[in-house]
Amino acid sequence: MQQYPVALFCIVVAAWIAGCEPNESPTSDDGRVTIGVTLLTEQHQFYQQLRNGMETTAAEHDYKLIITSAEGDSARQSNQVDEFIVQKVDALIVCPCDSKSVGAAIRAANIAKIPVFTADIANLSSVGEVTSHIASDNKAGGREAARMLGKAIGHKGSVAILSHPQVASVSDRVKGFREQIKLFRDVEVVAELSADGKRDKAMRVTEDLLQSHPDLTGIFAINDDTALGALAAVEAANRKAKVRIVGYDATPEARKRIDAGDIYGDVIQHPQRIGELTIQTIHDFLNGQTPPSVIPVEVGTYTGKDG
> 150, exposed or middle or buried, with CB in 10 Å at 0-12, 13-18, 19+?
buried
Is residue 288 domain-resident? no
Of 108, 130, 152, the one marking the end of a domain is 130
The SS3 of residue 304 is coil
For 182: left if phi > 0, alpha if psi spans -120 to 50, otherwise beta; the answer is: alpha
pLDDT tens digits for 24-71?
A: 334 556 789 999 999 999 988 899 999 999 999 999 999 999 999 999
Residue 96 has phi, psi (to 5 degrees) of -60, 140
Is residue 273 domain-resident? no
CA–CA distance, 52 with 276 (Å, rounded to integer): 8
The SS3 of residue 162 is strand
CA–CA distance, 217 with 21 (Å, rounded to integer): 58
Of 106, 130, 154, the one marking the end of a domain is 130
CB 117 within 8 A of CB 130: yes
pLDDT at 29: 65
The domain total for the chain is: 2
Is residue 295 domain-resident? no
Q: Per-residue pLDDT averaged across 161-179, rounded?
A: 95
Same structural domain for residues 125 and 152?
no
Same structural domain for residues 169 and 49?
no
CB-side exposure of 243: number of CA atoms within 13 Å? Answer: 27
Same structural domain for residues 252 and 206?
yes
pTM: 0.78
CA–CA distance, 302 with 226 (Å, rounded to integer): 17
Is residue 290 domain-resident? no
Is residue 292 domain-resident? no
Of 83, 99, 130, the one marking the end of a domain is 130
Q: Which residues contact 10 (CB under 8 A, 6 or more apart)?
A: none
User: CA torsion sign, 7 to 12 to 13 to 19?
Assistant: positive
Same structural domain for residues 152 and 116?
no
The yes-or-no verdict on residue 19 having pLDDT over 60 is no
The yes-or-no verdict on residue 6 having pLDDT over 60 is no
* CATH for 101: 3.40.50.2300
**∠ at Cα 84 (78, 86), nearest 5°?**
105
CA–CA distance, 129 with 117 (Å, rounded to integer): 9
CA–CA distance, 253 with 125 (Å, rounded to integer): 34
**∠ at Cα 205 (39, 98), nearest 5°?**
25
β-strand partners of 300? 268
β-strand partners of 136? 297
pLDDT tens digits for 278-300?
A: 999 999 999 999 999 999 999 99
Q: pLDDT-based confidence at 305, cuts 50/70/90?
A: low
Domain range enclosing 255: 138-268
The yes-or-no verdict on residue 166 having pLDDT over 60 is yes
Q: How many CB atoms lie within 10 A of CB 140?
A: 17
User: What Cα–Cα distance (Å) separates residue 53 from each residue in 46, 47, 252?
Assistant: 11, 10, 17
Q: Per-residue pLDDT averaged across 147-163, rounded?
A: 98
CB 146 within 8 A of CB 264: no
